[in-house]
Amino acid sequence: MKKYVFMFLLSLTSMVSMARDSIVTAQQRCQIEARDKAELLVPLTPSYLDGITSTTGWDNNWFVEAKGGTSAFIGTPIGCGDLFDRIMPVLQIGVGKWLTPAVGGRIGYQGIKFKNANLQSMKYQFVHADFMYNLTHNMQCNEYGLSKFDVIPYVGVGMIRNSSNTPGYFLTDNIPSGNHPFAFSYGVEFRYLLADRLHLVGEVSGMTTMKSFDCVGTSSRFGDHMVSASVGLSYTIGKRGWKKVVDARPYINQNNYLLKRYSEHSQQANANNNIEAQSTDKNNYSGLNSLRYRMSLGNENNGSSSDSLSQKTKVTIGVPIYFYFKLNTAKLVDKTQLVNLDEIAKIAKEQNLTIHISGAADKATGSDKRNRHLSIERAKYICKQLIKRGVDKDAMKATSLGGIEQFLPKEANRFGVVLLTQ
């Protein structure tokens, strides 16, 4: 008997514990839902898509670089002397462009002198085109999307010319004609960002060409090599850096939630009006009750305003809806934002709402005159898009905010904002 009583008490205790846990879980779930809804009613701070940047024009992210160091020639046959007996100074110059944060190309020049297999000093010039890939382009990036430290392997092809006048060399009409065989270039460049446009660069590179290049050996196969180590500076020409793309998904989610909430409140308001119309009580306070309801509806949407206690009270619907533009243009950073205009036009026409449109520009990157013009153009762009969606021109009111510095980062000030009112 005691055994059964003990088992019963143990089961009861377990059920009570599980019930308590389920209550706590439900409470936490409600708190989470309430918090999420509250966040959807607050104006959003722009966020950006990871690893995605907008493309730039051909005038952006060009660079020139100059480096000096040492090189050593290793030929086939190897000849006399060791690697240190063949060390000579080297000069390297390059001009290139970064097409994306990771991919770039350059035209390079290398030359002065080298010592061949017989330790004879010979002049040479090496011109090559390289494909470059930045392995660390997305690490520790600044506001322009430039990484602090870069590791850039590269490979390329070119022509190398031995221009020395040596006995037994290539002759045309008894005049040295030079030796200019095909060659491969390869290596790794290291960059450190010193300033917005200036990099400290170091490079370990190699070159491979034909065995006959140093006039020792006659084979046309690859076999002569040159290794180099150098250090210098690189300077960026034109616009630098990369533009981040604003993530439109949080704004779409917020807008969908507000539209749903507005629809629910509209249905409730219509139901309340129907009840008031059917009442026979002369003192049913229908006008006052309607006003109170409309004011509470506006307060819940973070934007209500009233002129006086009259039936002409204006109510702001939802929160401002922002559309973000590219630098110095009236083009959206992401055209998926246009889905918001579809819903705005639909609601405005169905509910006979007034659409208020304001344009703004980034004060930090333009003159006052330019920013006024740019903010007007951005407001006009949204107006034209709404007209295309069937909104009457008289139902819209547009204003210019000019250049502002209200939000951080500064890109957030390049916007057009839409607000609906009754």
Going from N- to C-terminal start, the domains of the chain cover 53-237, 248-421
Shared fold status for 53-237 and 248-421: no
- Whole-model pTM: value is 0.48
- The first and second tokens of residue 397, run together, are 């009111």
Pairing of strands 103-115, 121-133: antiparallel
Would you tell me which CATH number, out of the four given (3.40.50.2300, 3.30.1330.60, 3.90.700.10, 3.30.310.50), belongs to the domain 248-421? 3.30.1330.60
| Residue ranges of the chain with per-residue pLDDT less than 70 | 1-57, 165-178, 218-219, 244-246, 269, 271-319
* Contacts of residue 379, Cβ cutoff 8 Å, sequence gap at least 6: 357, 358, 359, 398, 399, 400, 416
The residue type of 148 is: K
For residue 86, which of 226, 229, 230 has the smallest C-alpha distance? 226
DSSP state of 149: E
Q: How far apart are CA 196 and CA 53, in angstroms?
A: 18
Q: What is the DSSP string of 264-316?
A: HHHHHHHHHHHHHHH---TT--HHHHHHHHHHHHHHHTT----SSSSTT---E
pLDDT at 142: 79
DSSP state of 211: G
The residue type of 309 is: L
Q: How far apart are CA 70 and CA 110, in angstroms?
A: 11
Greatest Cα pair distance, the chain, in angstroms, is 123
Q: How far apart are CA 273 and CA 258, in angstroms?
A: 22
pLDDT at 48: 63
Q: Residue 232 in 3-state DSSP?
A: strand
Q: Which CATH class is domain 53-237?
A: mainly beta
DSSP H/E element including 115: strand 103-115
pLDDT at 188: 97
